[in-house]
Amino acid sequence: MRDTVRQWIREARRIAVLTGAGISAESGVPTFRDAQTGLWAQFNPQELATEAAFRAHPQRVWDWYAFRREMIAKVAPNAGHLALAAFQQRHPGRLALITQNVDGLHQRAGSHETIAIHGSILQDQWLDAARPCCDAGALQAGRPPRCLVCGNLRRPAVVWFGESLPVTALEAAEEAANACELMLVIGTSGVVYPAAGLALAAHQRGARVVVINPEPTELDRVADHCLREPAAQCLPALLEH
């Protein structure tokens, strides 16, 4: 069935791609569900990735992000990330890449216009609105670091559960989903919204939807085809010239 999807890719003037943690799995980054290994196994990720959890247990949540950052720093983009970036270079403006991932691996692979709808784990921001005293260059060290004067905490620049997505990224993602003729849904379980809703929107607009995932997902129900394959093995063949 790969050939049919390759044909659909050749025919589509506008392609949207929605990726999740699965595309980084073959780089060695555990998926969201798998990230709960060892020390973190007793915590549900949706409990750790919330403002309430951070305010209640700032050190625990900061350490969880530090643990994930260290893992991400040790890995490299895989053949799946690279195949998408290469396709974008060969066909400028034809493929819009939307990711739920905060790991920055698409960007490191060369996908410079990646629409990162859940932010980035590689940047920090202030927990509360910055006051005149809040200088990110002069922090009181700690886990998390804080403002020397008012104690405002630093937090990872990711979108936590219950938080709205960055408006510009969400608008760009919705535009791409609504304008595409083909959407590739790669390495996502399709349970988190509004991200998963982008695939539903594309389907409702008449676009073909292809799921690439070794396991069944919540989005198979709107898929025209499911390729039950690991992304780094499937994408190079699918996207090669």
Is residue 32 part of the contact set for ligand BV8 (CB under 6 A)?
A: yes
Is residue 195 part of the contact set for ligand BV8 (CB under 6 A)?
A: yes
Do the Cβ atoms of 19 and 190 come closer than 8 Å?
Answer: no
Q: How many residues bind ligand BV8 (CB under 6 A)?
A: 33
Do the Cβ atoms of 231 and 22 come closer than 8 Å?
Answer: yes
Nearest CB to ligand BV8, comparing residues 163 and 171? 163
| Residue 69 beta carbon to ligand BV8: minimum distance, rounded to whole angstroms | 11
Q: At what angle do helices 231-239 and 2-11 cross, to 10 degrees?
A: 50
Nearest CB to ligand BV8, comparing residues 12 and 102? 102
Question: What are the φ and ψ backbone dihedral angles of 99, each rounded to 5 degrees?
Answer: -130, 145
Report the DSSP pairing between strands 182-186 and 15-19.
parallel
Of 81, 106, 118, 203, which one is the catalytic site residue?
118
| Residue 45 beta carbon to ligand BV8: minimum distance, rounded to whole angstroms | 7
- Per-residue x/- track, 143-172, ligand BV8 (CB under 6 A): ---------------xxxxxxx--------
Is 81 an active-site residue?
no
Nearest CB to ligand BV8, comparing residues 26 and 124? 26
Residues 8-27, interacting with ligand BV8 (CB under 6 A): 20-22, 25-26
Do the Cβ atoms of 83 and 239 come closer than 8 Å?
Answer: yes
Is residue 98 part of the contact set for ligand BV8 (CB under 6 A)?
A: no
Residues found in the chain: 241
- Per-residue x/- track, 206-225, ligand BV8 (CB under 6 A): -------xxx-x--------
Supply angle C-alpha 211, 217, 218, rounded to 5: 110
Q: Following DSSP, what letter does each residue of 115-170 receive, concatenated? A: EETTEEEEEEEESSPPPTT--TTSEEPSSS-EETTT-PBEEEEEPPTTSPPPHHHH
Strand partners, 186: 19, 212
- Per-residue x/- track, 50-89, ligand BV8 (CB under 6 A): ----------------------------------------
**Of the listed pieces 2-10, 30-38, 53-61, 122-130, which binds ligand BV8 according to CB under 6 A?**
30-38
Where do we find the tokens 């960055």?
166
- Residue among 157, 171, 210, 216 at smallest CA distance from 17: 210
Residues that bind ligand BV8 (CB under 6 A): 20-22, 25-26, 31-33, 46, 49, 100, 102, 118, 158-164, 187-189, 191-193, 195, 213-215, 217, 230-231
